[in-house]
Amino acid sequence: MIMQKYKNHYNQLCYICDMGNTFGKVFKLTTFGESHSDSIGGVIDGCPAGFTIDVDKVQFQLDKRKPGQSKITTARKERDAVEFLSGIFDGKTTGSPIGFIIKNEDYRSKDYLYIKNAFRPSHADFTYQEKYGLRDYRGGGRSSARETANWVVAGAIAQQLLNLVGVKVYAYVSAIGRIKMIKSYKDVDLLAIDSNLVRCPDLDCANKMIDEIESVKKEGDTIGGEIIVIAKGVPAGWGEPVFDKLHADIAKAMLSINAVHGFKYGFEATDINSSKGSEVNDVLIDKSGKTKTNYSGGIQGGISNGNDIYCEVLFKPVATIMKKQNTIDLHGNPIEIKGKGRHDACVVPRAVPIVESMLALTLVDHYLRSYTNKIKY
């Protein structure tokens, strides 16, 4: 009787709320898979029919995220070759759900036996154990950033849709540790982002960042950083009032990314706390919504205003370090552990396509929702 009552409550809860595996309201991505499962993948629902998908461009974005791509990334080697299973016929979307998978090919589960009964500091080991009563300790299971490859597939498709309406999304590394790029995004060549390992368009700064990552890696330590992401060409009117404000949805998208611990939109190179309204109010200069300055970051009242959308995304240092640390085991006993296996000393360069993808997914969702804004005669 008690179990039946529990089961009924559980079924009701599952009916009224998703379990955190779906992103978006119209253009939806639902994902599955773990770091060491046979495959990861997803289903994209809400993609309009008749749209030609350039699979090579999707793969290009995946290649920017995949492990083992350079001397400053993890040594894990994955091809990350996406295979589309449904929703595409003769190169065009059919309007039905787009299913896809990516095979996991180079996982070494034995490398994680040392944490089978231990909790790593600043990881999701303890919280997953508390939430579910068990956990897949192999590579972090579902909590691993391995799963973000799915987001990049959907995000690459979203970017291609946005390009059709003149919207371009760019992201680049603006800081690694204390090394920070001073130049504005308006003063650099955004097409030079992929010209170096760290994906910073300021080449002098990029070389210093690479040296910093290599130095930290030799110490067995890790380092964080910052990514700036911009969307150009977004028209005024995207975003919903109150709880689905455009900047709120972008913030959720960015803070869903592993290791992200900070988010800011607008106020490029400006201290918000010390600013006066007379200094940072954006003055309108034409009917399209263009403003003399862009402290608002392209969003006002939760709705895009026609200017560039500008955001800063802050990443903490990777939690797995090759140094001894104190922690506890499953029974609460104090123990000492040291990181093993293959890990990034800095995830920021590989996170660039993830950040681009999450902004693109948010924007394309609000673009499709904008068709309900008003009746056009």
Q: In the predicted model, is pLDDT for residue 160 greater than 70?
A: yes
Return d(Cα 224, Cα 226) in angstroms, integer: 7
Return all residues near 288 (Cβ < 8 A) that are at least 6 apart: 236, 306
Encode pLDDT of 17-32 as tens digits: 668 999 999 999 999 9
Q: Which of 352, 364, 357 is nearest to 155 (CA)?
A: 357
Predicted local confidence at residue 341, as pLDDT: 80
164 CB burial (10 A radius; 0-12, 13-18, 19+) = exposed
Q: Quick one: fold of 19-372? A: Chorismate synthase, AroC fold (3.60.150)
* Distances, alpha carbon 49 to alpha carbons 97, 296, 353, in Å: 10, 35, 25
125 and 137 Cβ atoms separated by less than 8 Å: yes
Predicted local confidence at residue 6, as pLDDT: 47
Return d(Cα 97, Cα 104) in angstroms, integer: 23
Return d(Cα 175, Cα 149) in angstroms, integer: 23
Nearest-10 crossing angle of helices 148-164, 55-65? 140
Return d(Cα 19, Cα 123) in angstroms, integer: 21
Return d(Cα 176, Cα 265) in angstroms, integer: 19
93 and 51 Cβ atoms separated by less than 8 Å: yes
**Tokens standing for residue 206:** 């990029």
Ranking 41-45, 88-92, 218-222, 269-273 by mean pLDDT, the lowest is 269-273
- Give the pTM: 0.94
Residue 153: its H or E element:
helix 148-164
350 and 64 Cβ atoms separated by less than 8 Å: yes
Q: What are phi and psi of 309, to 5 degrees?
A: -85, 125
**Tokens standing for residue 253:** 């998208």
> What is the rounded average pLDDT of the residues 146-161?
97
135 CB burial (10 A radius; 0-12, 13-18, 19+) = buried
Every domain of the chain and the residues it spans: 19-372
Q: Which of 189, 188, 169, 184 is nearest to 229 (CA)?
A: 169
Encode pLDDT of 201-215 as tens digits: 999 999 999 999 999
Percentage with pLDDT > 70 across the chain: 95
